[in-house]
Structure 1
Amino acid sequence: MTDLTIQKSNTGQRAGKKPKGVTTRRVTTASGAKVTIRAIDAHSPTFGEDFLYVFTKNVEAARKENKRLFGSADGIPAAK
């Protein structure tokens, strides 16, 4: 049986600057709102980093929108 080594990192990964495999476009919806579209290349050698960056940016946008709508970043109304 082979030995299994599990390592825990105390520092989480954060998306830094935009990777080269990510393309960003600002488009206007039918209702006139501006939205940002981020696309990644599935065959990119840095797919993991690209995906992490796009996912992190999407979570940031969702938390910001929830904060605006509900007063709390997790979507649950803040207790008063």
Structure 2
Amino acid sequence: MKTTADNLAGTAQNLTSEKASHASDVKKANDEITAANNYATSVQNAISNASSAQSAAEFATSQAAQANSLDPSTNTSNVKQ
């Protein structure tokens, strides 16, 4: 016949197992959150790099348009025509 002490010991063992299982679940969730955050940072960096590249391309296009609009006969720069 089980005593109250036996029942409490069984309950304590079950709670210990549940705690270990919960700790494992929390670690897995935290690892997945870390991976998601790393991916989000990677995407954010890619967007930033694309924006910088677009700005550089727009500047280059502007400079090319400005250069194309120069009148070669009045251009006194050192650039060979």
What TM-score, normalized to structure 1?
Answer: 0.33
Relative contact order: is structure 1 or structure 2 higher (C-alpha 8 Å, sep ≥ 6)? 1
Specify the structure having the higher radius of gyration (Cα). 2
Going by fraction, where is helix more abundant, 1 or 2?
Answer: 2
Would you tell me which structure has more strand in proportion to its own residues? 1
